[in-house]
Amino acid sequence: MIGVLASPGQYELVREFFELFKTPWEFYRFEGQYDVVLCAREDANAYDVTAKLVVLYATSKTSFDEEGQIEITPHRNSGMLSYKGNRLPIYGKSVTIQGNGVSLLIDQNSNQAVGVLDKSGCQVTARIGYDLFEEIRVLLRDGQPPENASIPTVEIHIAVLRDLIVESGVRLVEIPPVPAGYTFTACLTHDIDHPSIRRHKWDYTMVGFVYRAVIGSLFGVLRGRIPVRHLLTNWVAVAKLPFIHLGLARDFWYDFDRYLAIENGLDSTFFVLPFKGNPGMTASGPAPRIRASNYGAADIAERLQTFVSAGREIGLHGIDAWFDGSKGEKERDQIAQISGMASVGVRMHWLYFDDNSPIALEKAGFSYDSTIGYNETVGYRAGTTQVFKLLQATKLLELPLHIMDTALFYPSHLNLTATEAEKQIGAILDSTRMFGGAVTINWHDRSIAAERLWGEVYAHLVKDLKKREAWCTSAGRAVTWFQQRRSVVFKKCERGVDVLLPNAPPNSDKRIPGLRVRVYNPNEISPKSEETFLDTVLTPSMSIGFPAGNSMVCQ
């Protein structure tokens, strides 16, 4: 059990951190007995607590530093640390530390320690020179700049604490963010922006299409960035435009149900715009007219019913829901009426979002949001692979967006070739598999058609996910899995700790895998095994107890 000493103003952050690091904890009680004490108050004296491991996070000199004769030097706001070969950005204040022990975290600029581990006394102590929970606040509320997009910063913060606990010999019980039977979760999603080229005459979308298909494709071939067959496909598509508008040829954009064939039975989510011709609003006034779509959900209702019959999820691609709860409710109702779904998730068109959006979206009654991500790059904007509660909301959960096709391929963004894109995608998948959690992928409706022709990359991605043994699913089912994980309760008992999943639905969705209970104790699992943990599947009806041994103290 971890006892946490924190300021009342950080209590919400502490609670959310331990939903992401799902392990037994409680706010510190003076009469309590703890294996680990985490001090996040700068007025807390680590020598006044008794535990096998004491971890102190602080950005100024404390009484613990004075008694331990630890020298503290104010560093700067923001910086990059190194931890076991991983980069760890710090967005708030930090200090460097000179004292007894081994350097744990190193500032890459000064090569000085920002974390020191001391095993010399009767208890193990770790002094870390930043404010953990303020870092979590910045990540989940403001997000990371694009230059740090590739770093799952929240997960590294969790790894630092987890490693300290396990390497100190304390038995650790955790519900990892990894579904039973799989290596990680992959959410397959599609934003439906332009489902029919027939709806476009000589507007901005049509002119852009013709230019990119004719001129852009030619330059792409000359520069070696696309194959000749793509050039020929695009030129043929342009030649067919008059016949498509006359109704004599197939509308090659109204073909996004090909995703059903590519995914071949896997679950996925289609985010659909509710109303046509409405660009919506920005924070300063009307949005650009090009943001308006030439379709609304009612225009493709028949196609959407095909997706629903195939088991796919239909969500809202919101217009004004991000700032107005009443308008968001109308948009949600339109999708619910057409799809027949009782609960509707949302991703905002153009990823519009601000500090008030969680409140507006929660007021509108959405089951989750999946907006927080980058337009210009790929990676971890919120620094996490996990579903988390938006801090401004009461209960609304965020499924962050990690990989988007337009960010990968647009000339104004990363402008990658197919090979380059697959390499960058692979790095994100490697990272997600390492830390657990979910990777959310967004491939737009017309990305498998001319002039983009990005379908091959998506098909390769789906095959790669299967090869990596990922749980490929819809956004809604992934959020449901994380909700179940968040509902797990730990209780001390005579044997150690019980892990309970209360109020489990009696007729649960069979397509949602179970939870794992992971026990770290490298000294007791198997002396001959290289594994540092043992996994057990937690089912809704079972309670699992773990012997206390010498590590856990039960009351």
Output the pLDDT for position 506. Answer: 57
Query: What does the pLDDT average to over 269-283?
Result: 96
In a domain, 177, yes or no: no
Whether 525 shows a pLDDT value over 50: the answer reads no
DSSP string, 96-131: EEESSSEEEEEETTT--EEEEEE-SSSSEEEEESB-
In a domain, 59, yes or no: yes
Q: Which two tokens stand for residue 121?
A: 């006394």
Distances (CA, A) of 522 to 104, 527, 548: 20, 7, 15
d(CA 157, CA 380): 14
In a domain, 214, yes or no: no
Predicted model pTM:
0.94
Q: Give the mean pLDDT of the chain.
A: 91
User: Do 355 and 268 belong to one domain?
Assistant: yes
Q: Is 500 helix (H, G, I), strand (E, B) or coil?
A: strand
| Residue where a domain stops, chosen among 481, 509, 535 | 481
Choose the weakest-confidence range: 63-72, 94-103, 283-292: 63-72
**DSSP label of 213:** I
Could you tell me which of 212, 200, 265 has the C-alpha nearest to residue 406? 212
**Confidence bin at 309 (pLDDT 50/70/90):** very high
CATH number for position 422: 3.20.20.370
pLDDT digits (tens, 9 = 90+) for 15-36: 999 999 999 999 999 888 899 9
Check if the beta carbon of residue 131 is closer than 8 Å to that of residue 93: yes
d(CA 234, CA 220): 12
Whether 555 shows a pLDDT value over 50: the answer reads no
Whether 78 shows a pLDDT value over 50: the answer reads yes
Q: Is 40 helix (H, G, I), strand (E, B) or coil?
A: coil
DSSP string, 138-202: HHHHT---GGGTT--HHHHHHHHHHHHHHHTT--EEE--SS-TTSS-EEEEEEEES---GGG-SS
- What region does 517 belong to: left with phi over 0, alpha with psi -120 to 50, or beta? beta
In a domain, 555, yes or no: no
User: Do 433 and 540 belong to one domain?
Assistant: no
Owning domain of residue 515: 488-545
User: Do 498 and 462 belong to one domain?
Assistant: no
User: Do 455 and 352 belong to one domain?
Assistant: yes
User: Do 512 and 447 belong to one domain?
Assistant: no
Q: Which residues share a beta bridge with 107?
A: 81
User: Do 436 and 464 belong to one domain?
Assistant: yes
Between strands 269-272 and 313-318, the pairing is parallel
User: Do 108 and 158 belong to one domain?
Assistant: yes
In a domain, 226, yes or no: no
Output the pLDDT for position 500. Answer: 82
In a domain, 202, yes or no: no
User: Do 496 and 460 belong to one domain?
Assistant: no
Whether 447 shows a pLDDT value over 70: the answer reads yes
User: Do 401 and 448 belong to one domain?
Assistant: yes
Query: What does the pLDDT average to over 448-452?
Result: 97
User: Do 513 and 468 belong to one domain?
Assistant: no
CB-count exposure of residue 147 (10 Å: 0-12, 13-18, 19+): exposed
Check if the beta carbon of residue 127 is closer than 8 Å to that of residue 64: yes
User: Do 400 and 418 belong to one domain?
Assistant: yes
Whether 504 shows a pLDDT value over 80: the answer reads no
In a domain, 420, yes or no: yes
Q: Which two tokens stand for residue 282?
A: 């920005």
CATH number for position 109: 3.40.50.880
* CB < 8 Å & 24+ apart, contacts of 390-395: 390/140, 390/358, 390/362, 391/12, 391/13, 391/16, 391/137, 391/140, 391/141, 391/358, 392/141, 392/355, 392/356, 392/358, 392/359, 393/358, 393/359, 393/361, 393/362, 394/362, 395/362
Output the pLDDT for position 527. Answer: 46
What is the H or E stretch that residue 317 is in? strand 313-318
Choose the weakest-confidence range: 94-103, 435-444, 533-542: 533-542
**Confidence bin at 487 (pLDDT 50/70/90):** very high
% of the chain surpassing 90 pLDDT? 80
| Residue where a domain stops, chosen among 450, 481, 512 | 481
Output the pLDDT for position 538. Answer: 86
User: Do 508 and 469 belong to one domain?
Assistant: no
Query: What does the pLDDT average to over 54-80?
Result: 87
pLDDT digits (tens, 9 = 90+) for 167-213: 988 889 999 999 999 999 999 999 999 999 999 998 999 999 999 99
**Confidence bin at 505 (pLDDT 50/70/90):** low
In a domain, 31, yes or no: yes
| Residue where a domain stops, chosen among 135, 170, 205 | 170
Query: What does the pLDDT average to over 320-333?
Result: 98
pLDDT digits (tens, 9 = 90+) for 243-267: 999 999 999 999 999 999 999 999 9
Output the pLDDT for position 182. Answer: 98
The total number of structural domains that make up the chain: 3
Q: Which two tokens stand for residue 490?
A: 């730990």
